[in-house]
Amino acid sequence: MTAFRPFSPTAELPDTPYPLAEEYARAQLFFEARDYTEAARILAPVVEAEPGHLAARLLLARSYYHSAQLKRAEAELRRVLERDPAETYAYLMLGRTLERQNRPADAAPYLRLAAAMNGEAEPAPRRVVHRRADD
C-alpha cells in the first residue's frame, strides 16, 4: 500500500481552519467509524490541495467506494494508478468498483493484475456477506 508522506508545507490550504494533516486524520476517524460520506467530504479538498498525496487519494477512493459513489471511486483509483502503477491495492479496488457497476469484463484485467502482483494464481472470488435481518 502507498506509504504515507507528509503534506507539503507549500500546498494551498482548503477552506478549513485545520492543517491538511489534521484534516486527513479527521477523515481517517470518520472512515474508521464507517461514516464514509463524511470522510469523503473532508478528503476531497485535501486531495485537491495536495493531488500528489496518494495515501489521501486512496482513502478518498475507498470512502467513495464504501458510500456507493462508484464513478467517483473509479476516477480516483485511475488517478492513483496514473501516479503509481505499482499500487496493487488500487488495481484490486478498481476491479471491485467496476464489478459493483456491473462491468465484469472491464474489471477482469484489473483483478488478474492485482492477483498476479500479489503472487496469486487467479483473482480471489468476490466475497458476499449475507446479514441476517435481526443483525
Q: Is the pLDDT of residue 20 over 70?
A: yes
Question: Cell for 80?
Answer: 492513483
Q: Is the pLDDT of residue 120 over 90?
A: no
Query: Which positions ≥6 away from 108 have C-beta within 8 Å?
Result: 95, 123
Calpha distance 86→69 (Å, rounded): 24
pTM strictly above 0.85: no
Q: Is the pLDDT of residue 24 over 60?
A: yes
SS3 62: helix
* pLDDT confidence of residue 1: 44
pLDDT, tens digit, for every residue of 44-103? 999 999 999 999 999 999 999 999 999 999 999 999 999 999 999 999 999 999 999 999
